[in-house]
Chain A
């Protein structure tokens, strides 16, 4: 039953994906198809990464309202990119091959996120809301820091950072995309293997430990996975705050289950469908594109309010 819904989601992705590829296709076919295919892969990657990362993060944070974006995961990533350019200079940073740089940035983000958010989780145990607030403020702090460092850069170096920050789907570096696909599939596979343990972790720290789960280790492992997925999405399109919330909530709604073996793929598929469908509508039908992020933010924000206010009712 649940599996049928997963297949349905996969079918949906297939439909919007083909629409994205073949709608009003004109000559030169090969060139345009290649362009669109690259974009499609990037969109699917970002949607899957954000959706799955959000489900994982919500489980270890014990909260359905949080997303990695809200607590500043992506800000951390951008801060590191900026620091890299600041340390090596724009030319130096540009000399490192895109794929290698991406891997390095991902590793650094994983380490930093595990330390930073690990500490927050440790301290915030038992007081979930304070933890959320800490995360949000941490996000503001990290964004402010990144911005300050950017202001310290020369204009030419700043341009390098800015390009890294706002890489649009149009100019996806195929080398980088390849690495992104690799990292993402690795992270998804590990997450999938961990899913029974994640089911238990979702019961809360006390209950999970009572059942013999090494809860702290699962939290660390999950944070590492989330960091890897967030670097994939942030490197490809920049920060997207509420897409994850939208994807995770819809996936829960559609599958109506707590099992991560279903939830993780469902959220990944939902995120991809939202992005591809949105991009299709905006790019092919309305012939505009930078507004997609704004619309996703808007809808995601509304959903957040709806969830938060309904939570308060018995």
Chain B
């Protein structure tokens, strides 16, 4: 029942998203659909799915449900990397920029993990706060550089995720998300075990450090991919996994697909709402999501004392 509901909601959103736009479909026809509407819809779904998956992985890695990629400094680190590439080699191809951003994201994430290991475990709410401030510091460095090199405008674009600029040829990197999703599905059990903590994971015979590193790489890649193509979306990685886990429990093998679908549907919904509220103008999907996501998160915080304490 719920399954059918989520699927039909996603399908409905996709149809609305395809039909929605300043130009009418009957004039532009198939070309408009292929060049703009479909890429936009696909980008929203893929970005949402990617961030939701990144969220669930990072939650397992640090064993804390209140964490998500944007609370680990990863997007800010990726931004720093992107800024550096844009400064040093402005003409380099997207693939190079992407990889460099991902590498920086990994460094940022590693820094966060180092902090996380030093935070007392007994207080599950402290880690997200630490992550937030850590991200703030990296963000301040990025702002400083951007301000120094007159790139503040770029930074503003990366900070605020939106899909109005998505067209054929400018979003295809996001399909890597699909590849990573399949990869995650293969190792889902190991990621679930990571969430049991180091001692338990080791006693189950898991190579803890290796799996953790793998998780770190995947989260960084996902975050960097989304950031470089469409910008940052806080909260997706927090809301989607938590809602799914309330609904279906914590076995990733059976949940991963749902988390991805749900994340995609949420971001697409935010994009559609952002396009509708002030038609024909647009409100960035990330802004819409900040409002919706924050509201949902507050609800989680108070409605789910048992589970949200991880």
A binding-site residues for B, Cβ under 8 Å: 65, 123, 129-130, 132-134, 136-138, 140-141, 143-145, 147-148, 151-152, 241-242, 290-291, 294-295, 297-298, 301-302, 304-305, 308-309, 312
A-B contact pairs, 24 of them (CB 8 A): A123-B302, A129-B123, A129-B129, A133-B125, A133-B128, A134-B298, A136-B128, A137-B297, A137-B301, A138-B298, A141-B298, A143-B290, A144-B291, A294-B143, A295-B144, A297-B137, A298-B137, A301-B134, A301-B136, A305-B134, A308-B126, A308-B129, A309-B130, A312-B118
| Chain B: CB-nearest residue to A310 | B118
Interface: B283 (CB within 8 A): yes
Q: A18 to chain B: closest CB distance in Å?
A: 29
Question: For A143, what are the chain B residues with a Cβ–Cβ distance below 8 Å?
Answer: 290
Q: Which secondary structure characterizes the binding site on chain A?
A: helix
CB pair B130–A148 under 8 Å, yes or no, is no
Question: For A152, what are the chain B residues with a Cβ–Cβ distance below 8 Å?
Answer: 277-278, 283
In angstroms, Cα B117 to Cα A309, docked, is 10
Q: Which secondary structure characterizes the binding site on chain B?
A: helix
Between B118, B140, B284, the greatest number of chain A beta carbons within 10 A of the residue's beta carbon is seen for: B140
Per-residue A-contact encoding for B118-144, CB less than 8 Å = 1, 0 else: 111001111011101110110011011
| Chain A: CB-nearest residue to B294 | A141
Question: For B11, what are the chain A residues with a Cβ–Cβ distance below 8 Å?
Answer: none
Question: For A297, what are the chain B residues with a Cβ–Cβ distance below 8 Å?
Answer: 136-137, 140
| Chain A: CB-nearest residue to B137 | A301
In angstroms, Cα B132 to Cα A143, docked, is 15
Question: For B134, what are the chain A residues with a Cβ–Cβ distance below 8 Å?
Answer: 301, 305
CB pair B136–A130 under 8 Å, yes or no, is no
CB pair A312–B66 under 8 Å, yes or no, is no
| Chain B: CB-nearest residue to A135 | B129
Interface: B255 (CB within 8 A): no
* Interface range for B: 35 or more
Interface: B157 (CB within 8 A): no
B binding-site residues for A, Cβ under 8 Å: 66, 115, 118-120, 123-126, 128-130, 132-134, 136-137, 140-141, 143-144, 147-148, 234-235, 277-278, 281, 283-284, 287-288, 290-291, 294-295, 297-298, 301-302
CB pair B120–A312 under 8 Å, yes or no, is yes
Q: A202 to chain B: closest CB distance in Å?
A: 21
Question: For B125, what are the chain A residues with a Cβ–Cβ distance below 8 Å?
Answer: 129-130, 132-133
| Chain B: CB-nearest residue to A72 | B294
CB pair A298–B133 under 8 Å, yes or no, is no
Question: For A136, what are the chain B residues with a Cβ–Cβ distance below 8 Å?
Answer: 128-129, 132
| Chain A: CB-nearest residue to B284 | A151
In angstroms, Cα B256 to Cα A114, docked, is 42
In angstroms, Cα B298 to Cα A65, docked, is 20
Q: B162 to chain A: closest CB distance in Å?
A: 11
| Chain A: CB-nearest residue to B66 | A133
In angstroms, Cα B297 to Cα A138, docked, is 10
Q: A285 to chain B: closest CB distance in Å?
A: 16
For B294, give its contact among A137, A304, A309 (CB under 8 Å). A137
Question: For B133, what are the chain A residues with a Cβ–Cβ distance below 8 Å?
Answer: 301, 304-305, 308
